[in-house]
Amino acid sequence: MLDQGSIAGARVSRRKRDPDGTRVAILEAAGKLLAKDGPEGLSVSQVAQLAGVNRGTAYQHFQTREQLLSATTAWVSERLRQAVFGDQLPSDEQDISQIDPQSVSEHLAEFAMENPELGRVWLFEVLSSNRPASDPFWNQYKTQFEKFARSDLAQPGIDCEVHAVLTLIGVFLWPVFAGAHAHTAKGRLQMAKRYSNEVLRLSLHGTMRPEKFPELDARNSKAIKASSGRKRPK
């Protein structure tokens, strides 16, 4: 029977032969530490220990803490992009009318509720960056909104950058309030739904032209009424 040291050694050995798997393990560990301690608590050696790889292997992937932080932020962003947009990539040929605003709003709120600390770390890193367009999610989110703002579906005169920042600040800070008022998975899901419904209502009567989205407007009004008549989660 293998002892714990042998198992750990075998794990490290396997990861040496699987650089992509090792990188993912390191990024997953870095994400956990970021969520727990923030950027200030991140170090390559700590991440290596949590990931189950030796420090030398970790430093082969990320020579500095800054490289690790940048890569982890991009990794979180790609997870967020996949959660909200799936495999869909931004394209000049994309028909903006085929994008479902309700789906985008709901998936964004759900991701924020499921990853509150990690989401806020990601948001801070993106907003404090002088190159936010290099971030996968920010790039796709803002690009699609800019395309929407140029279409006849939108109200005129939208400041896309301000709107994108305000929306993302709201969605990643809402879990702070929700966490104090919802203590079960069902409650947190309800709070995510409340947020996405209200954001959609504001969009329908702020950035969107509601006459262009009659079915969505009707569904949202119905959802808002149902939510207001339901007991708030404990």
41 part of a folded domain: yes
CATH code where residue 123 lies = 1.10.357
In this structure, are 85 and 184 located in the same domain?
Answer: yes
**According to the model, what pLDDT value does residue 15 have?**
43
Residues 123 and 176 sit within 8 Å (Cβ to Cβ): no
Domain of residue 147 covers 72-228
Rounded CA-CA distance 77/26 in Å is 16
Q: What is the DSSP string of 59-98?
A: HHH-SSHHHHHHHHHHHHHHHHHHHHHTT----TT--GGG
> Last residue of some domain: 24, 39, 63?
63
Residues 28 and 34 sit within 8 Å (Cβ to Cβ): no
In this structure, are 58 and 76 located in the same domain?
Answer: no
In this structure, are 181 and 140 located in the same domain?
Answer: yes
In this structure, are 83 and 24 located in the same domain?
Answer: no
35 part of a folded domain: yes
**According to the model, what pLDDT value does residue 10 have?**
42
The number of distinct structural domains making up the chain is: 2
In this structure, are 138 and 204 located in the same domain?
Answer: yes
**According to the model, what pLDDT value does residue 234 have?**
53
CATH code where residue 55 lies = 1.10.10.60
**According to the model, what pLDDT value does residue 52 have?**
92
Which residues of the chain are under the pLDDT cut of 70?
Answer: 1-17, 90-94, 228-234
149 part of a folded domain: yes
**According to the model, what pLDDT value does residue 37 have?**
86
51 part of a folded domain: yes
Tokens 């997953």 label which residue?
Answer: 28
Q: Provide the token pair at 195.
A: 């947020």
